[in-house]
Amino acid sequence: MENRKKRIFSGIQPSGDLTLGSYLGAIKNWSAMQEEFECVYCIVDLHAITVRQDPEVLKRRTIEQLAQYIACGLDPEKNILFIQSHVPEHAELSWILGCYTQFGELSRMTQFKQKSQQHADNITAGLFTYPVLMAADILLYNTDCVPVGEDQKQHVELCRDIAVRFNGIYGDVFRIPEPFIPKMGARVMGLKNPLNKMSKSEPEGCVFLLDPPEVIAKKFKRAVTDSDMEIRFDPENKPGVSNLLSIYCAITGKTPQEAEAEFAGQGYGTLKTAVGECVVNKLTPIREETEKLLADRAHLEEIYRMGAKRAREIASETLKTVHEKLGFAAR
Ligand code: ATP
Ligand code: LTN
């Protein structure tokens, strides 16, 4: 395989407005990687339609998500930023990989089990084969590393299994990717229900990247904690307080022990205000920059078109190799 910088691939669905969870679990780490690695970041609209979307809203969110990627520090010159449906190789490789994925493997995916409960009236084949498309995303770019939150680890592991299986039959076709899960912020919990992951499709207890400062402060003030008064990092017994401490640590870079010492002897009110403030300080410049970027749609369109062109150059090479290995007649 060619001699090059290590490659990173990741993506987020434009299925809702970006949250503090997707920022701390994924995007924050993406921008830290752009100097050292060759990075490809995608807006995965094909994945978003695995549950029903409103076409107008989907279109708006797709462009807003691109603006937020850039506002979070992803330089569109250094990174390849693109929209999944603009690179048809994703859907093509997904079909092929689906023929090398077991029904049983897909049945075991936690996200499928959860989403099929949430959308019990619309459990589509797309929802079931979602992880195969994700494997195609990753493998098309000969990705070395996939920075995601904890909830996506199982999907990256399935991707590795598919790649190993394919390579076992056809030779060294795909690079085997590693997941990258951050130490802090890998699983930000909802502020209303700290037993559930903060998620854009559950707006209750969810902080959005574009929330104004007063809304963020209010959401933290109302965060669920517990009835004892001790500020201690203990996710099992004190999920609400530990979640606030994790958010604080993920943003400030402090360890949970340092944060505990800093808040020792203080009340939950002080903790909530402090965490709310550090989140506001982090998100305010991102919101302002997003608004500026959204004022120039033509520029954003130029960025995603350039991104798709660069992405396609890589993806089409991989797909060509796969076709040859499978024995498809040359075009
Ligand atoms: P949906 O509710 O539509 O499933 P989501 O809010 O869970 O969406 P995704 O688009 O699935 O967000 O995730 C985008 C990225 O952010 C993934 O890498 C995912 O692991 C990460 N992520 C999402 N929510 C969290 C969270 N609460 N904590 C840490 N990382 C998260
Ligand atoms: N399934 C991911 C989004 C996603 C992704 C990817 C992440 C689609 N394709 C490739 C990393 C690499 C999610 O966050 N729900």
Residue 13 near ligand 1, beta carbon < 6 Å: yes
Query: What would the mean pLDDT of 161-174 be, rounded to a whole number?
Result: 98
Tell me, yes or no, whether 175 and 56 share the same domain: yes
CA atoms within 13 A on the CB side of 246: 24
* Residue at 36 is within a domain: yes
Residues 313 and 277 in one domain: no
Q: Are strands 80-83 and 145-147 parallel, antiparallel or unpaired?
A: unpaired
DSSP secondary structure string for all residues of 49-91: TTS---HHHHHHHHHHHHHHHHHTT--TTTSEEEEGGG-THHH
Count of structural domains within the chain = 2
- In terms of Cβ atoms closer than 10 Å to its own Cβ (0-12, 13-18, 19+), residue 210 is middle
Rounded to the nearest angstrom, the distance between the alpha carbon of 268 and the centre of ligand 2 is 35
Please report the pLDDT score of residue 202 as a whole number. 78
- Asked if residue 229 and residue 169 are part of one domain, the reply reads no
Pair 156, 219 in one domain: no
In a domain, residue 192? The reply is no
Q: Is residue 194 part of a domain?
A: no
Cα 209 from Cα 284, distance rounded (Å): 9
**Can you give the pLDDT at residue 2?**
56
Which residues form ligand 2's pocket by a CB distance below 6 Å?
9-13, 44, 47, 134, 137-138, 146, 148, 152, 155
Q: How far, in Å, CA of 159 to CA of 161, rounded?
A: 5
Does residue 110 sit within a domain?
yes
Alpha carbon of 134 to ligand 2 centroid (Å): 6
For residues 176 and 259, membership in a common domain is answered with: no
Region 177-187: mean pLDDT is: 94
Residue 1 has pLDDT above 90, yes or no: no
Clarify whether residues 45 and 86 are in a common domain: yes
Closest C-alpha to ligand 2, atom 13 = 12
Q: How many helices (H) and strands (E) would you count in the chain?
A: 14, 5
* Structural domain includes residue 259: yes
On whether both 170 and 305 belong to a single domain, the answer is yes
User: Is the domain of 182 the same as that of 115?
Assistant: yes
Distance CA(17)–CA(132), nearest Å, equals: 24
Domain membership of residue 215 (yes or no) is yes
Q: Which of 9, 13, 15, 22 to mutate to test the pocket of ligand 1 (most atoms within 8 A of CB)?
A: 22
Please say if the pLDDT value at position 164 is more than 70.
yes
Distance 51 CA to ligand 1 centre (A): 15
178 and 84 within one domain? yes
Distance CA 84, CA 66 (A): 12
Q: What are the residues whose beta carbons fall under 8 Å from the beta carbon of 3, sequence distance 6 or more? A: none
CATH number of the domain that residue 96 is part of = 3.40.50.620
Regarding whether 106 and 21 lie in a shared domain, the answer is yes
Please check whether residues 142 and 181 belong to one and the same domain: yes
Reading phi first (left if > 0) and then psi (alpha if -120 to 50, else beta), residue 253 is in: left
**Domain that residue 109 falls in:** 7-186+296-326
Q: Is 173 among the domain residues?
A: yes
Asked if residue 30 belongs to a domain, the reply is: yes
pLDDT (tens digit, 9 = 90+) per residue, 241-253?
999 999 999 999 9
Indicate the pTM of the whole model.
Answer: 0.95
17 and 121 inside one domain: yes
With the most atoms of ligand 2 within 8 angstroms of its CB, the residue from 41, 148, 175 to mutate is: 148
> Tell me, what CATH number does 213's domain have?
1.10.240.10
- Determine the Cα–Cα distance for residues 207 and 194; give it in Å rounded to an integer: 13
User: What pLDDT does 76 receive?
Assistant: 97
